[in-house]
Amino acid sequence: MSARELRLLSVVAPMLDEEGLAAEFCSRVASSLADLPYELVIVDDGSSDATPAILDDLAERDARIRVLHLSRPFGHQMAITAGLDHARGDAVVMIDGDLQDPPELIPELVESWRGGADIVVAKRRSRSGETRFKLATARWFYAIMGRLAQVDLEPGAGDFRLIDRAPLDALLRLRERSRFLRGMSSWVGFSRGVVEYDRDARSAGETKYPLRTMLRFALDGLTSFSNFPLQLAALAGFTCAALALLGLPLTIVARYSGIYERGVPSLLFAVLLIGGIQLLALGMLGEYLGRIYDEVKQRPLYVISRSQNLDPEEGAAAALAGVERRDPEAPQR
């Protein structure tokens, strides 16, 4: 099979309060892709520091840098989606702007794509600068998702990956609000390749994934691709009913031995076992119903306040029209 021709490579990077890394990130991308035709689509996710001004200045000096400014922080996954909507390349790379994922690996991803892989996943061999707790929870998350989710996830892989235009167009047709892009890119199928690398520690700024955000992200991933929490509620209800039946002889013994007054043992079992599982089931149902409520409101995934070197209406119009293929050789408006 002949190697694919690359007319344009799009690199999509979300940023939130990265004033200490924005310029260095753009410089390293330019150095890494000096021999490739590329565009760098950076999405400012409502930064409150000097990041927007730095990105605008970089875009004025280099037309290959295209900047989207969102009206407020919409979240990491929404910011990536905004960049993907506006990417015009034959292949698109998703990478975080904090330089923990090295831009120098992108040419290797491109080579794997040229060899025939439609999606090339960057898999972490090691993760410098991260706590044992975070590493352990990451392992648990991938182990749980591997067993319960309806998609195949590469353990140790994040959102850093290259996607061919065909699977990307299919991915962008999925406009759900609870976005788990690494799972969605697996759901669309297509052939896959894996490139391993060592992830660097963050050199400046603060992580945008504290514990609370990680838990929310993990819950989004699980509920988006698995009905197991609902099945778990049914299983827990059955278990509690079985425990209540097994505990019935104990209530009889307690009643006639004088340990409890009449009615107290049965009341305790009813409240603690059955009542508890009802609350658990209601909570799980509420989690899914809340997601349905978010979807039926049909609000846009993000709102663009302004842009540099691109038309902010172009990506949204393409998404609403079914994600028509963009021509990288077409002139910008």
Contact predicate 274/244, CB 8 Å:
yes
Residue located via tokens 């898999």: 123
**pLDDT of the residue at 128:** 63
**pLDDT of the residue at 183:** 79
**pLDDT of the residue at 12:** 95
**pLDDT of the residue at 282:** 74
Those residues whose C-beta lies under 8 Å from the C-beta of residue 271, and which sit 6 or more positions away, are none
d(CA 232, CA 101): 36
**pLDDT of the residue at 60:** 92
**pLDDT of the residue at 189:** 84
Mean pLDDT by 10 residues, the chain (333 residues): 82 91 92 92 92 93 93 90 93 90 92 91 73 63 62 74 93 85 83 84 56 62 63 68 69 62 64 69 73 78 88 58 47 42
Structure tokens at 68: 């989207």
**pLDDT of the residue at 241:** 66
> pTM of the entire structure?
0.70
d(CA 116, CA 2): 9
